Each structure stands twice: as structure tokens, then as C-alpha cells.
Amino acid sequence: MDRKFPRIVIDRDKLRNNCTQIVKHCEARGIAVAGVIKGAGGLPEIARLYRSCGAAQLATSRLEQMELWRREGIPGPYMLLRVPGLSELPEVARLAGYSLQSDATTLDALNSVCAEQGVTHRVIIMADLGDLREGFWDKTEMVEVCCHVEQGLDHLHLAGVGVNLGCYGAVKPTPENMGQLVDIARAVEARIGRQLEIVSGGATSSYTLVHWGTMPQGINHLRIGETALLAKDLQVDWGISDMDYLLRGTMRLEAEIIELRKKPTHPVGETVIDAFGNRPTFVDRGMRLRALAAFGRADVGQVETLLCREPGMTVIGGSSDHCILDVEDCPRALRVGDVVSFDLSYSHMLYATGRTDIAVVFNGA
């Protein structure tokens, strides 16, 4: 057999369309885009494509992915999204042109490392506007730290300020909280006597304000991955139906059926907890045709939220290495060895592209 399963199939033409459209819509409003590829395992093919579509930077939270891009000869600059640990600073200085920062101790240490390496590194200081992940909560403290970088750290350049919303606290980006970030930027600029290059208003969830035309003046940078990579979150989960210039179906998971037979729909015997410490519940629907597909939670995380492309097929559960499917209502007469496919959400893509034993295939020019 000349094909390896499970595998991720990526439609290069749809992905190129999405990257191009996002960059175009943002640039029309004076906003540069950092192309975020961390959710797709830092795949060099996607990094190269995003740069060809006009991304100002390539962004990831993993230094190993930057190392891969460098080996592949993909031009930067590279932006580190996760605030680095002290142990990572030599690699940050060597690999990244930009990093997001939220701690004065780390900034001082990074300046020393950059001095040793003879480089100047650009930093974006993060504000916490309610999502409660990284960033300064006290805005006076944040302004003072920005001044410290500008006036006291010779090997760091204060590129700008930024925020993250939605990833932890699920806080919705709005013109009001984006306006708060612009106010912080103006306060910093008043203190340092120059304009900041970057006011970074967040990630995929902030793109809604670009789409609606409600992003405040002064936000000039976004860090966007999922909207381009999947074009699903905002269209489906947020219900933004008129974002039809972005194409869904950019990625699908293909897997083989390894078992197919009628079985009860309720376990037989006394039940306890499953392999992941959960106590599942079951609905008895009698005997139904079930299929096992050769992948599981170790490959994609929560299998139940996969979107089946096969008509009539439903994901009913799984274990580390098996996905259990109800195929009773499938019009196609499935057989062992048949390949079935699934559309992915962000978490599925994140898990699957991070594994070395799942093949990745690109279709299109």
C-alpha cells in the first residue's frame, strides 16, 4: 500500500486563499499580520505560504519550530508568542526577531543574553485586559516597564505593546477593550517620546473587528493562525455567515476502518472509570453497526468533536488509539480497509500535526 494512514490532507489552494484574504482585509485597515503556524505544528510549507501571501512575521510559541524554519531557509522575522522561560533566553536571542514579554526579570535577563550574543531583540510588552493569561494587570506598572526597556536596556528594542483575548478566559475582543490597548500605547509613547511600531490587538478572535469594520484606529497588528488554517471557528462557532471569502475544508483527517460489526450500544457488565479517569454515560439504542478507525485521543484529543465527512456516520467515543463510529445509517456499504475522513477543529489540528507518526499531505499547486 502506497499511502500511510492516519494522515492529514491539506488543500494548499484553499489555504493560500485564506492567508491572502486575511492579509488583504487587514492591510486595507492599516493592520499588519503575523502569520501564526503553531497550531499546525509549525509546518514549513505553511510558513512559506503565509510569508508569500504577505505576512509581516511568522509566529509560533515553540522555538523548535523556528529552528526548523531556519533550516528550511524560510525568511523571517520570527515572533515568539509564548513568554519565554529564563532557560530559553539564549535560543530566543538566537532565533527570534520578536518576542512577547510580561515580566521585568525576564526582560533584564534577556538584555544580558543579547549583549553576550551581540544582537538587538525586539519586544512587545503584553497587557492583561481581562482574559487573565499573560500580561501586566497594573497598567501603571506596564508603562514603567516599557520606559525601563526604552531607557535602560541597550540590547532590547521596545517594538510595541499587545494583548491576548479569548484563549483562556474566553473574553470577547470589542472596540472598548481594543481602545484600552490603544490608550496604553499612547501613554507609553508620551513617556518615551516616540511612536511605537506595533500595537498588537490579539489573535483570531480579534479578526472579527476587522471583518465588521469596528477595529479602533491605532491597532496596527494582529497575530492570526486559526482563521487562515481552518476558516471554521469564526464562521461556525461564532456564527459569522458572511465571512464567505474564507474557504473551509482546508484540512481533513483520513483514517482506515480496522473493524466493522454489529454490537450493543450499552456496555455489558459493571462499569467503572475509563482510561482517562472519566465515568462515561451511555444510551441503549440496541444493536447497531459499529466501526473502529485507526486513531484515537492520542492523535487528535477529543474525538467526539470531530466532524464526520461520511454521510450518516457519527463519532460515539474513543480511547487512546481507537475512534469508535456508529455507521448504521451510512448509505455507503463500508468495509474493513475503507478510508473515512473528518474535518478538524483547532484542537484536533494542534494534536495531529504535533505527532511524527501522522503523515501530512498537501494537495493543490
Cα separation of 78 and 63, whole Å? Answer: 10
pLDDT of residue 164: 97
My answer on whether 182 and 277 are in the same domain is no
My answer on whether 318 and 285 are in the same domain is yes
Strand duo 221-224 + 32-36: pairing: parallel
Say which residue, 238 or 51, is predicted with more confidence: 51
Amino acid at 189: E
pLDDT of residue 277: 86
Of the residues 215, 237, 259, which one is the last residue of a structural domain? Answer: 237
User: What pLDDT digit, counting tens, does each position of 203-212 carry?
Assistant: 999 999 999 9
Averaged pLDDT of the chain: 96
Of the residues 237, 259, 292, which one is the last residue of a structural domain? Answer: 237
My answer on whether 148 and 187 are in the same domain is yes
Would 104 be classed as within a structural domain? yes
My answer on whether 204 and 319 are in the same domain is no
Q: What is the mean pLDDT of residues 317-322?
A: 96
User: Is residue 259 classed as helix, strand or coil in its secondary structure?
Assistant: strand
Question: Which helix (H) or strand (E) element contains residue 106?
Answer: helix 104-117
**Residue recorded with cell 471583518:** 211
My answer on whether 265 and 224 are in the same domain is no
My answer on whether 220 and 311 are in the same domain is no
Would 1 be classed as within a structural domain? no
For residue 305, the enclosing domain spans 251-363
Cα separation of 179 and 174, whole Å? Answer: 8
Of the residues 175, 205, 237, which one is the last residue of a structural domain? Answer: 237
pLDDT of residue 1: 43
User: What pLDDT digit, counting tens, does each position of 270-287 carry?
Assistant: 888 888 888 888 888 999
Would 245 be classed as within a structural domain? no
Total structural domains within the chain = 2
The candidate with the shortest Cα–Cα distance to 120, out of 99, 148, 101, is: 99
Would 213 be classed as within a structural domain? yes
My answer on whether 233 and 277 are in the same domain is no
Q: Where are the alpha helices (DSSP H) in 193-337?
A: 207-212, 226-229, 297-300
User: What pLDDT digit, counting tens, does each position of 170-203 carry?
Assistant: 999 999 999 999 999 999 999 999 999 999 999 9
Question: Cis bond leading into 77, ω under 30°?
Answer: yes
- Name the CA dihedral angle for 313, 318, 322, 323, rounded to a multiple of 10 degrees: 20
Q: What is the mean pLDDT of residues 222-243?
A: 92
Q: Does the pLDDT of residue 2 top 70, yes or no?
A: no
Asked if 38 is an active-site residue, the reply is yes
Would 94 be classed as within a structural domain? yes
pLDDT of residue 3: 75
**Residue recorded with cell 492579509:** 23
Would 7 be classed as within a structural domain? no
Strand duo 251-264 + 7-11: pairing: antiparallel
My answer on whether 198 and 257 are in the same domain is no
User: What pLDDT digit, counting tens, does each position of 28-81 carry?
Assistant: 999 999 999 999 999 999 999 999 999 999 999 999 999 999 999 999 999 999
Q: Does the pLDDT of residue 223 top 70, yes or no?
A: yes
Q: Which three cell numbers stand for residue 25?
A: 482585509
Question: Cis bond leading into 44, ω under 30°?
Answer: no
Would 6 be classed as within a structural domain? no
My answer on whether 40 and 150 are in the same domain is yes
Q: Residues 342, 307: contact at Cβ < 8 Å? A: yes
CATH classification of the domain holding 140: 3.20.20.10
Q: What is the mean pLDDT of residues 310-333?
A: 97
Both ends of the chain: CA-CA distance in Å? 25
**How buried is 55 (Cβ within 10 angstroms: 0-12 exposed, 13-18 middle, 19+ buried)?**
buried
Of 178-187, 234-243, 310-319, 340-349, the least confident: 234-243
Cα separation of 78 and 70, whole Å? Answer: 10
My answer on whether 265 and 227 are in the same domain is no
My answer on whether 114 and 167 are in the same domain is yes
CB neighbours of residue 44 within 10 Å? 17
Cα separation of 267 and 242, whole Å? Answer: 44
Annotated catalytic residue within 4, 38, 232, 263: 38
My answer on whether 230 and 261 are in the same domain is no
Would 65 be classed as within a structural domain? yes
Cα separation of 340 and 338, whole Å? Answer: 7
